[in-house]
Structure 1
Amino acid sequence: MARMLAFIVLLIPAVMAGAGIKFMRDTLFGKLISPFPWLWLQFIIGIIFFLIGLGFFAGFLLHRDRKNGKVAPKFQKQK
């Protein structure tokens, strides 16, 4: 059950980052999606979604690797 919960926790930011990429791609091709009134707003929301999703995933991996002792010394937590 714990593995399933961890998978779901990682799936949500991955979907969010994917949606951000889609919003940015649609903006570059000039396709406006309905909840956004302007293309520039759609692109900004896409960047925000992408960065939040990627940042959460990267933070999770860094936390896991720190716990297992698999990171370079400069990324170790200072005590």
Structure 2
Amino acid sequence: MIRIIAVLMLLIPGLISAYGIKLMRDTLFNEFHPIFFHNGIQFIAGLVFFIGGIWFIGGFIVYRDRKKQKKQQNKNDE
């Protein structure tokens, strides 16, 4: 059950990132969504979705690796 929740925690931000890429691509090809008032706003919203999703996934992986002590220590940490 815990693994299913973990997969969902990674799936939802992944889908948000994919939607962000779609919004940015649609802006470049002049496909305007009526939700946004301007193409620039649509591109920025897509960029925020993309960066936010990748940031969440990266933070999840770093947290998991630190918890299981799989992260390599830096030379400065010694």
TM over 0.5: yes
CA distance in 1, matches of 2:73, 2:2: 30
CA distance in 1, matches of 2:5, 2:68: 20
Q: Which runs of 5+ in 1 are unaligned?
A: none
2:4 is the alignment partner of 1:4 = yes
TM-score if structure 1 supplies the norm length? 0.87
CA distance in 1, matches of 2:70, 2:28: 39
What percent of counterpart residues are identical? 43
The residue that corresponds to 1:59 in the other structure is 59
TM-score if structure 2 supplies the norm length? 0.88
**AA in 2 matched with 1:22:** K
The residue that corresponds to 1:22 in the other structure is 22
**AA in 2 matched with 1:34:** P
**AA in 1 matched with 2:42:** Q
CA distance in 2, matches of 1:65, 1:30: 41
Task: State the shift of 1:4 in Å.
Answer: 1.1
**Runs of 4+ off more than 2 Å:** none
Task: State the shift of 1:37 in Å.
Answer: 1.7
CA distance in 1, matches of 2:34, 2:7: 30
Moved more, 3-12 or 45-54: 3-12
